Chains A and B, each alone.
Chain A
């Protein structure tokens, strides 16, 4: 049995090579349909994928900020933080109080910077980098670091002023640069600081005492509330839900839910369009491949009859066109992939200026190639097996008389 299968395999290969012009035509015919289909899917996957990647990678797209000022106490903020859709939440103080002037020994400049409340898990900061901590350690924006000429470990002089009891007061405090924030985290002059430091600076400006820093003033309020917060959803899919939840409790928030929804809708619409084209394309590939293989088997009925005459069994005869169909499928697929590669390369070069560095408009994953190969081989084998079985069932005499 194995001997005859091997024999049929060898004969099918010899015939395929002998009729190389016909074989090339079959391969080209398959690649001509499959290649553009791969390009189409590559575009759909690359284009929408790039947009989705951008949405996912940019933490700003998951950010939720309240519009205007409110009064949010610790308990309320804790209840929001406990929601499973919330990845990170930090309260902020009044914007006007969240500034400081920084100076360094490395630069003669005094740089007024915005202060951003931060804490562990802040999506804007590198996950493995040192965090702002307590009243002395800060993470400065890259622009500020450049202006002040500082690097991690350097000490800054922070200063702020207030008018207290009709007198102008200015205080200084040493701040250690724990890290430099990534450029995309904050593009202006700024520093990420702990909530504790922000509260201290706000207290000083409001005329309250900050005993930890030796700043005098009035007694601080027992219960503190915050005018706003900075919140990040766990994923872009959670943004719309959180927005609606805040709206339900009367908190109007600013999100990028509309942009996210637009891309998601575009993905859905493009997917529908793609799948319609893909299904039509696959049916086309299957019919084209099936028809050519069927016709080929019919054409070879005479030769298959000779094999029947010399004693090849039914399954050996079926194996013959199946081997040839597999050759066509694999080589056609390989040529289609080559067509895809060249086309995708041209498209990506042409569109390189339209997308961010490293992003590709036309791309496929390895699994896509595997699925395309499996579908092509499956369609080819089914068509060839049906044609082969039909041929194998015909009386050998019928085919031989045509020789």
Chain B
């Protein structure tokens, strides 16, 4: 794998303060030395920490350095409780990091990068919501479909929020996902696998720059899981989306050619602290 040492050409103070328009950082560039070429990073994290505590047991996720390039397909592999979902939630702007040296996001190559940590610090949830709306698709482990909407409306939800017109995308996705004849049904009339396909359709329907998937095939049998995962990655390719997914099934992920993020989990029995360090 190429050397991915990260150079941040800015000082912490230049992007820590984040007034409304100031979340956009146009004086900072992200570079990486990868086989001598210059790539565009979509995420850049540096010294990001998330602490959690429940019933006297503490968990810490630490990301000393993480860079994800545009168009990459990244896999987070690990056992339950290793912090995969926590990292995905932070990357999807739905979970605030406890601390961050740098947490930056550049959804489009031509766009300026956004200081997400500053947005969280400023409690600018609406800006984070706008970013999610435009650039993120999220596939949840259990689908997360709205029970009162039809399959069509569930898939179309991400498009309708953006005010996108009907252009056949929903029908195309439904066709590709094999649920074209289920569009008028409600989620409770579908099988688990079908519901998961609808969730994938919703995550891709607005053609987001990034699709985050949290164990999207965990509730499916192995054959269906392989099938759905292939469909998902194929569609993400077709839509030019960067994919970040968490999974238990490394063998299958490896076959699909995803880059695996390395992680190390340590348990300290004395302090009852579990710490996972992710880098990549």
**Chain B 202-261 interface residues, beta-carbon cutoff 8 Å to A:** 202
- Kindly report which residue of chain A lies nearest to residue B126, judged by CB atoms: A313
**Are A397 and B132 in contact, with the CB atoms below 8 A?**
no
**Known: A395-B95, A397-B89. Contact between A311 and B161, CB under 8 A?**
yes
Q: Decide yes or no whether B8 CB sits under 8 A from chain A.
A: no
Chain A residues, Cβ within 8 Å of B89: 397, 400
Q: Is the CB of A396 within 8 A of B94?
A: yes
Nearest-CB residue, chain A, relative to B143: A403
A contact residues around B196 at 8 Å (CB): none
Cβ of B67 to closest chain A Cβ, rounded Å: 23
B23 to nearest A CB, angstroms?
16
Cross-chain contact A306 with B144 (CB below 8 angstroms): yes
Query: Does A401 interact with chain B (Cβ within 8 Å)?
Result: yes
A7–B163 CA distance with the chains assembled, in angstroms: 10
Q: How many angstroms from the CA of A397 to the CA of B84 in the assembled complex?
A: 13
A311–B148 CB distance below 8 A: no
B126 adjacent to A11 (CB under 8 Å):
no
Question: What's the interface size class on A, roughly?
Answer: 20 to 34
Q: Which residues of A contact B161 (CB under 8 A)?
A: 4, 7, 310-312
Inter-chain contact A3/B163, CB cutoff 8 Å: yes
Q: Does A120 contact B (CB under 8 A)?
A: no
**A15, A305, A310: most-surrounded residue (chain B CB, <10 A):** A310
A356 interface residue (CB < 8 Å to B) = no
Task: Please tell me if the beta carbons of A311 and B142 are within 8 angstroms of each other in the complex.
Answer: no
Binary contact readout A1-39 vs B (1 if CB under 8 angstroms, 0 otherwise): 001100100010011011100000000000000000000
Interface residues of A in 280-312 (CB under 8 A from B): 302-303, 305-306, 308-312
Chain-A contact segment, one of B37-45, B133-141, B169-177: B133-141
A3 to B165, CA, bound (A): 13
A81-113 contacts to B, CB under 8 A, are none
Give the number of residues in B that approach A within 8 Å (Cβ atoms).
31
Instruction: Point out the residues of chain A lying under 8 angstroms from B143, CB to CB.
Output: 403
The answer to whether A11 and B146 touch (CB under 8 A), given A311-B133, A403-B140, is yes
Q: How many A-B residue pairs have CB under 8 A?
A: 71
Given A17-B148, A303-B146, A395-B94, answer yes or no on A314-B125 (Cβ-Cβ < 8 Å): yes
Residues from chain A with Cβ under 8 Å of B186 in the complex: 18
CB distance B158 to A310 under 8 Å? yes
With CB as the reference atom, state the residue of chain B lying closest to A15.
Answer: B148
Q: Is the CB of B85 closer than 8 A to any CB of chain A?
A: yes
State the CA gap A17–B147 with chains docked (Å).
11
Contacts of A310 in B (CB 8 A): 132-133, 157-158, 161, 202
Is the CB of B160 closer than 8 A to any CB of chain A? yes
- Check A7 against B160 for contact (C-beta < 8 Å): yes
- In Å, the complex CA distance between A313 and B146 comes to 17
Given A306-B144, A308-B94, is A14 in contact with B157 using a C-beta cutoff of 8 Å?
Answer: no
A129 to B123, CA, bound (A): 78
Residue of B nearest to A3 (CB): B163
- Against A, the Cβ 8 Å flags (1 = close, 0 = not) of B94-129 are 111000000000000000000000000000011001
Q: Among A305, A312, A397, A403, find the residue whose CB has the most chain B CB atoms closer than 10 A.
A: A397
Closest A residue to B127 using CB positions = A313
CB-CB under 8 A from B149, the residues of chain A are 11, 14
Known contacts A311-B161, A400-B94; is-contact A19 B148 (Cβ 8 Å): yes
- B146-190 interface (Cβ within 8 A of A): 146-149, 157-158, 160-163, 186
B126 touches A309 (CB 8 A): no
Which residues in A have some Cβ–Cβ distance to B below 8 Å?
Answer: 3-4, 7, 11, 14-15, 17-19, 302-303, 305-306, 308-314, 393, 395-397, 400-401, 403
Apart from A395-B96, A396-B95, A403-B144, list 8 A-B contacts with CB within 8 A.
A18-B186, A308-B94, A310-B133, A311-B130, A313-B129, A393-B125, A403-B140, A403-B142
Interface residues, chain B, with chain A CB atoms under 8 Å away = 85, 89, 92, 94-96, 125-126, 129-130, 132-134, 138, 140, 142-149, 157-158, 160-163, 186, 202
